[in-house]
Structure 1
Amino acid sequence: MFKIKKKFDKPKPTILYNVIEDYSEFDAPGNVTVCAMTQQENLPGHAKVLSESYGVPLETMTKLLTEGGVYLYPQVGGILTRGLFACRIDPTGAVPKQTWTLDLMQFAEAEQLSRARGIPLDEVAAMVFHRTLPEELTAKLDRKNLGLDYRTLDRSVAKGGDIKYIDFRKDWSPHFKRLCIMPDGRLVETGGLEEFAQLHGITPAQAKTLVEQGGTLEVNGEILACQIVNGQPAVARFTAKNYMKAKELAATKGLHLMDALSEVGYNDPAMMRSLVRKERNGGR
């Protein structure tokens, strides 16, 4: 007698974005990844992901994505450690919903302008944020649907119609990919810290520390190096042989290990080819 095995469909992950444009190589604080969606917003899923990403209570995030406004991060031990999260909704619907964060410096500027000019903080937050963005991006934001040519888009993206919302993000999210240069010259995409940790055989906690603080991490004789450029992590993994070369270089020339690894990487043909491809892909 044969047993019929039931198939249990795994719940499909929430697809938040189908248009991604990377501006992370631009000067901070305008170094953002533009994450947009042409399909109808999945409000519960969108709110859940942004709530977890930015440390905003879910109920508050849901309200922000519904009504617009700003969330001011509470002080920690009497000290303000983060700026604000903002969601802007055009009541006419002519402009897509937009979300972003302001760092402490931007937040201080926005507060000062708000008090000096008597303008609501949410309006000033938008002014402060948008004027720091790259010119190329601000020009696109002035055009409908970022100026995209829908004839060249994937059908699944184009059939969604106009862009419904744009999240300007700086984090390492499962909902868009970042590139890592591997020792054999491959460029491997990972989305989120969990996937990054699995790729390299490290713990999520180690991955979080590495991509947030930068530095190096030994992994089975090889080494992972992460350099924070304009607040964005750039990651490469080096073979044990190249790691040894870098340590020798650091010792003989008195270099910091990260500088020595960079020099070794630039002299490695496979890694250099990857670096060139990475630059062509927009530096993600």
Structure 2
Amino acid sequence: MWQSGGVEERSAERAQRTGDLLAELRAVLAAGGIEDPDAEAQLLLGHALGASRGRVQAMSVLGAPVDPERVDAVRELAEERARRVPLQHLTGRAPFRSIELSVGPGVFVPRPETETVAQFAIDALQAVPDPEPVAVDLCTGSGAIALAIAAEVPTARVWAVEKSREAHAWAERNVREWGAGRVELLLGDARDPQLPERIVGRVDVLVSNPPYVPRDMVPRDPEVRDHDPELALYSGADGLELIRAISLVGLGLVRPGGTLVLEHAEMQGESIRRLLAADGWRAAATHRDLTGRDRATTALR
């Protein structure tokens, strides 16, 4: 996409001012169909420079030059992003509430809407009179929800369960960085999580962002379709296969009066409320995320 000549000529050509380089990156990203090319150009350049987005913006205002080697690096990143490699795979990081997680191929990239799901779990834990409430995060993926809980409810005892070995490895890395000594990470299946006997029937909050895409509904976004693990996306013909299992498992894990929090697709709320009620959960309610879509359902044991 970018042409180059001799070494000295290339260095002169590539020594660009920040604003000019950002404009170039924006054009590449926009041509690739990226929704917010301005923001992502700044984030990619910040990653290449080891600088914050605010620092990149300041460099642009000041007309600061960018080192030629960094110009090459960020151009390569922009080309990959234009091919719809997830931004978080390129930077290796994904912000989630007050923490920043390590992510990459093999693990589901946490989404902003899941921050609302984490908030429901945090609110429920903070309402528990026990000074050390117990939380379990099934299908933890990168560990996002479990680690957010540990960060914001520091007295909580948190367990996280993940089936995929690849995703579990990412979660291990994140637990070492953000939750060492505060989150117990288990390799296991949400259908039979093999949690310690001492917490079975004593869990205050069970939370999960499980796979919930019907197997015949392939996501439109290439970042999701081509890069998120299938195990983290699809769950039977109607997308509710694992949610049904979690509902039943949860009855044995959660104490009477405890809370279940589930993320799901926008159109699944009514079906989930019905199946939870049929299983014996009380007060099932569906809640909107920050974009106004029904994306989480809570219920009481």
- TM-score bracket for this pair, using the shorter chain length: under 0.3
Structure with greater helix share of residues: 2
Normalised by the length of structure 2, the TM-score is 0.26
Higher relative contact order (CA 8 A, sep 6+): 1
Normalised by the length of structure 1, the TM-score is 0.27
